[in-house]
Structure 1
C-alpha cells in the first residue's frame, strides 16, 4: 500500500521547488515596501495606544483582529485532478495524508494566532489591566480555540450537502465572533468558560450532518484555487505561469458595461470591465471597500485614519494591478483591428475608475470621524492624484 504521508510531504516539497524562483524575486521586490509598511503601522499603532481610552469600543476592534485569524485560514492538501483515478481506490489509506495536511495547517495558523495576539495584547493590557500570566493563559486559549475552528472548517469541507455546508460555515463565523467578543467583554474567567462551553457544543454539532470520508471534488477544487491565489500574488512582482480562476457571470452587474459606448475605442474598456466583474478581482475589491469603510468608521484620530487610509488605498491599487495580466498573451489581441496602444490605455482607465470609486467610498467615514472635513477632503484628493499617476504609468 502506498505511503500517503510521504506522498504529502513530497508534493509539498515539489510545490515549494516550483515557486522558489518566483518567490526569490517577489521577496526582493517586497522587502522595502514591507519595511516601510511595518514602520508606518508601528507609528500608527503607537499613536493609537496613546490616544485610546476605555470608552472606545476596543472590544470590537480586538474581536475583529482576532476573528480574521481564528475564523479563517486554509488547509493545503496538494491534491490533483489525477488523484480521483490513482488515489481514490486507496481512500482508506488517505487518513495519514490528510492528517499531515491538518498538522501543517495547525502549526502555520498557530503562528498567525500568536502574532495576532501579540498585536492585540498591548491594547488589551492598557484598557483591561492584567498581569503577564494572563497573556500566556489567553494565548493557550486562543491556540486551542483555533484548532477547534480549524477542525470545524475541515469538517465543513467533507459535508455531503452544499446548503448544510453553508449553514455550518455561517455557524462557525458567528460562533467564533460571539465567543471571541465574550472573552474580551466579560471577566476573563467567565469569558474563557463561555468559550470552552461553546467550543464543546460546537464539536458536538459537527458530528450530526452526513459527511464524505474524503470529499475529492471539493478538496481538489479548493486546492486549485489556493494554488492560483499564490500565483496571482507572485505575478504582482514577476511574470509566472498563469493559473486562471473560474469566471463568475453575475448578470445583475452586467448593466455596468452598458454605460460604455458601443464604439471601437471602448472595445478593451468593455472587455476589461467584464473581466473585473467576473473574476476574483471583483470580490477582492468589494472586501477591501467594506473592511476599509468600517475600519475608517471605528477611529477618530486624524493621524491614525490617514495612515490606515493610505494602507488601504495602496493595497487595493496593488491588487487591481493584476488586471493588466489578463489576455496579455492572448492571440486574439493581435487579430482585433484595434490600435496596439488602445489596450494599455483602456486597462489603465478601467483600473483608475475602479480604484477611484473604491477610495472615495472608503473615505466617506473620514468626513465624519476626522476633526475637520478639510483634512478628509485633502486626504482624498492626494490619494486620488497618486492613484491616477500610479495607474497611468504602472
Structure 2
C-alpha cells in the first residue's frame, strides 16, 4: 500500500459495507411505521407543551446539559484490528496520517446527534427566551466547534493515558461544554473563554502525545467493543452468525425458578427460564423493549398511538425471544436427557406468555394517567398470543 491513507480507505470501505449489510434488516417498513408514529406523537406532545410552558423555564440550562453531555461522549473510531499491533508496528511513524482520517470520521459521524438535539430545542428557546434567530443558529456552529475539540481531546487523552480514568476526563469536558453552551445562549461573547479553555486542554494533551508509542492494544479493544455493541443491536433484528452473547449469574432473580415445580416434566421449563435470565441478549432485549413501551405510555397522551406502539413492541419482543430460544443450533446437554423434544416448545411458550403478562402490567401501570388505559394490556396480550400461535 502506498500510504496510510490507502489503508484507511480500504478499512473504511469494508466497515461501511459491514454496517450496511446489517442495517438493511434494521430499518425495515415495520420499523419505519413505528418511527413515524413515535416522531409524530412526540412532536404533537412537544408542540402542546410549548403552549403552556412558563417564561421562567430554564431552557438554556436544559439545552446546555443535554447537548454538553452528548458532546463529552466522543469515543474514537479507529477501525483498527487485532493484527495491526504486529503488522503496523513498523509503520508507527506514519500512524498520525491514519489517525487524522480516523478523527475526522469520528467528528462527522458523531456530530449529528448533538446537533439534532439542539435543533429540536430551538422552538423552546424561541418561546421562553429573547434570543434572535441569528444567536440561536450561532449556537449550532458553537456545538460543532465544541464537538471538534471534544473528539480531539478524548483521542489524545486515551493516547496518553491508555484509557485510564477516562470518566474524569469526560466529566471535565462535559462541565466545560455545558458552561460554554449556556454562556453562548445568555452572554454570547463570553463563551469564547470556555472554548479557549478546552482548546488549551487539547493542546496540552497533544504535547504529551509526542514521543509516546501508539497504544494499539487500547484502541483495538475499544474498536472491538464498539463493533460488538453494533452486532448485538443488529442481532435483535437478524441473526449475526459470529456473535456470542455473554452470560451473567443474576442471583437476585433466583426466586423466579421457584415458580417451576420440581419434577421431571418441568426439566425444559427450568432450562428455558434459566437461559432467558442468564443470557444478556435475551434478558436485556425484553428489558429494553418493555422500558421503551412504558416510557411512551407514560409521556405520550394519545391513546391510539400508545396502543400501536405497545402492540408493535409486544410483537417484536415475543417474536425475537421465540426465535432466540428455539433456534439455537449448538449442542446442548438437555438433548441427551430422556425428555420429549416437544416439551421445549411448550416451555418457551409458557415463558413468553409469562413475559407478556409482566410487560402488560408494567406498561399499564405507566399509562394509568391516560384515558382508556385498560385497553393497553388487552392489546399487548392479544398481539403476543397471536405472535406465539401464528409465527413459525
Residues 106 and 150 of structure 1 are in contact (CA less than 8 Å); yes or no, is this contact kept in structure 2?
A: yes
Q: Which has the larger radius of gyration?
A: 2
Matched, 1:49 2:57: no
Q: Does the C-alpha gap of structure 1 residues 112 and 95 become closer, same or farther in structure 2, counting only changes over 3 Å?
A: same
Structure 2 segments unaligned to the other structure (5+ residues) = none
Matched, 1:386 2:383: yes
Of 341-350 and 201-210, the range deviating more from structure 2: 201-210
Residues 179 and 198 of structure 1 are in contact (CA less than 8 Å); yes or no, is this contact kept in structure 2?
A: no
Backbone CA RMSD of aligned residues? 4.4
Q: Does the C-alpha gap of structure 1 residues 147 and 339 become closer, same or farther in structure 2, counting only changes over 3 Å?
A: farther
State the Cα deviation string for residues 184-239 of structure 1 (Å, max 9, x = none).
9x625288467537745764786799997433333223322332333344444444
Q: Does the C-alpha gap of structure 1 residues 78 and 196 become closer, same or farther in structure 2, counting only changes over 3 Å?
A: closer
User: In the alignment, which residue of structure 1 is the partner of 2:219?
Assistant: 219
User: In the alignment, which residue of structure 2 is the partner of 1:122?
Assistant: 123
Residues 348 and 392 of structure 1 are in contact (CA less than 8 Å); yes or no, is this contact kept in structure 2?
A: no
Residues 260 and 270 of structure 1 are in contact (CA less than 8 Å); yes or no, is this contact kept in structure 2?
A: no
Structure 2 length normalisation: TM-score?
Answer: 0.74
Instruction: Work out the number of aligned pairs and report it.
Output: 382
Q: Aligned partners of 2:135 and 2:164: how far apart in 1?
A: 40
Q: Does the C-alpha gap of structure 1 residues 218 and 250 become closer, same or farther in structure 2, counting only changes over 3 Å?
A: farther
Q: Aligned partners of 2:190 and 2:297: how far apart in 1?
A: 28
State the Cα deviation string for residues 56-76 of structure 1 (Å, max 9, x = none).
676676567646743446543
Of 113-122 and 138-147, the range deviating more from structure 2: 113-122
Counterpart secondary structure, 1:99: helix
Q: Does the C-alpha gap of structure 1 residues 88 and 35 become closer, same or farther in structure 2, counting only changes over 3 Å?
A: same
State the Cα deviation string for residues 102-148 of structure 1 (Å, max 9, x = none).
11121122233333333222233233353321232011111122223
Offset of 1:10 from its aligned partner? 0.3
Map of 1:54-73 to 2, 5 A cutoff? 54-55=53-54, 62=63, 66=67, 69-72=70-73
Residues 254 and 274 of structure 1 are in contact (CA less than 8 Å); yes or no, is this contact kept in structure 2?
A: no
User: In the alignment, which residue of structure 1 is the partner of 2:32?
Assistant: 34
User: In the alignment, which residue of structure 1 is the partner of 2:242?
Assistant: 242
User: In the alignment, which residue of structure 2 is the partner of 1:81?
Assistant: 82
Structure 1 segments unaligned to the other structure (5+ residues) = none
Counterpart secondary structure, 1:225: helix
Q: Aligned partners of 1:170 and 1:250: how far apart in 2?
A: 32
User: In the alignment, which residue of structure 1 is the partner of 2:139?
Assistant: 138
Matched, 1:230 2:230: yes
User: In the alignment, which residue of structure 2 is the partner of 1:112?
Assistant: 113
Offset of 1:54 from its aligned partner? 2.6
Residues 356 and 380 of structure 2 are in contact (CA less than 8 Å); yes or no, is this contact kept in structure 1?
A: no
User: In the alignment, which residue of structure 2 is the partner of 1:13?
Assistant: 13
Offset of 1:354 from its aligned partner? 4.7
Q: Aligned partners of 2:352 and 2:207: how far apart in 1?
A: 47
Residues 5 and 97 of structure 2 are in contact (CA less than 8 Å); yes or no, is this contact kept in structure 1?
A: yes
Q: Aligned partners of 2:49 and 2:153: how far apart in 1?
A: 38
Matched, 1:92 2:93: yes
Q: Aligned partners of 1:190 and 1:67: how far apart in 2?
A: 18
